[in-house]
Amino acid sequence: MEESRVFYPPKRTGTVVHILLMALLSAAGAWGIWGVSTAQVTPQLLPYLTLIVLFLVSVPYLFYRLYGLHRSTYELERGGISLGWGWRLEILPMDQIKWVHRVEDLEVPPQPPALHWPGSVIGIRRFQRGPEVEFLASSLRNLVVIAAGQRYYAISPANPDEFISSYHQLIELGSLAPLQAESVRPALVVSEIIGDRLILGLILAGGFLNITLLVWTLLTIPSRETVSLGFTTTGVPHAPLQSVQLILLPIINTTAYLANLVLGLFLYRNPENRGLTYILWGGSIFVALLFHIGMGLILR
């Protein structure tokens, strides 16, 4: 028998669900931007701004969940079990694993995370009278529970019977060199960023400029009925627009900032790509400054 086997959770349904959700929310965000660009009075902005905020918050979150699904593996070795899901990695030495069972074989199965959907059954729950269970699964079907130390893990290999059978065969072979226990969580990336003063400064500076642009815009809209965006080739000002449409400037700026922030987080994990991270997050500051200059020229 091979001394290492890699299993994967079912990914097709989860991938389709994530892509459809992101497409739907992106369409809602685009509709929100269109609505803002055509609004005539401030009260009309509220439903469109809600759609835009929903897009800005949910799409990066869904993107990471989709990334986690496609970076998910369950690897069995003679020395232990490695569970990977996105930025999450848990290495369980074989001598710490008590048992591996299908969830149907448990007297009291664990409850799934409160928020879950196909392709993303991720979270931590607790047995009624027992330890915590961390779900790293794409589906509630064919769950396998691993008891390791004081913590349990619920996973969803595409072939659970083969996974359990491989585990027992490896147990019979014995462990020559147990794996070193390791636990890597997404929060560790955030902690590392907080400890990097330059990176943290770039993120905070970009965020501060986003806020100042938004506040400036919100203070300007009630004080001016119309604004003119530039001049024609003959030097005549363009037809004036309702000042409420200035809200598009902070919306576009924030969208660019969040896109750079999310992409930078993925790049930052690899030390070789951190130079690109500095460029991205520094670019967010440069773009925000350009929007501030543009706002000043519009109101001049």
Looking at 184, 202, 221, which one is the last position of a domain?
184
CA distance 214 to 247: 8
pLDDT at position 208: 96
Mark whether 140 and 30 lie in a shared domain: yes
Count: domains in the chain: 2
Mark whether 26 and 53 lie in a shared domain: yes
Mark whether 165 and 194 lie in a shared domain: no
CA distance 246 to 220: 9
pLDDT at position 134: 94
Looking at 184, 207, 223, which one is the last position of a domain?
184
pLDDT at position 219: 85
**DSSP assignments along 1-57, one per residue:** --SEEEE----HHHHHHHHHHHHHHHHHHHHHHHHHHH--SGGGHHHHHHHHHHHHH
Query: Tell me: the pLDDT tens digits for 93-105?
Result: 998 999 999 999 8
pLDDT at position 41: 64
Mark whether 34 and 170 lie in a shared domain: yes
Mark whether 165 and 23 lie in a shared domain: yes
pLDDT at position 254: 92
- Domain containing 265 equals 187-300
Mark whether 134 and 260 lie in a shared domain: no
pLDDT at position 116: 93
Flag residues of the chain having pLDDT under 70. 1-2, 40-42, 128-129, 175, 229-239
CA distance 156 to 204: 39
Query: Tell me: the pLDDT tens digits for 267-296?
Result: 887 878 888 888 999 999 999 999 999 888
Query: Tell me: the pLDDT tens digits for 2-28?
Result: 578 999 999 999 999 999 999 999 999
Mark whether 191 and 164 lie in a shared domain: no
Helix (H) or strand (E) run with residue 77 in it: strand 73-77
pLDDT at position 236: 63
Mark whether 260 and 298 lie in a shared domain: yes
Mark whether 131 and 56 lie in a shared domain: yes
Mark whether 140 and 162 lie in a shared domain: yes
Looking at 184, 218, 252, which one is the last position of a domain?
184
Mark whether 120 and 150 lie in a shared domain: yes
Mark whether 72 and 167 lie in a shared domain: yes
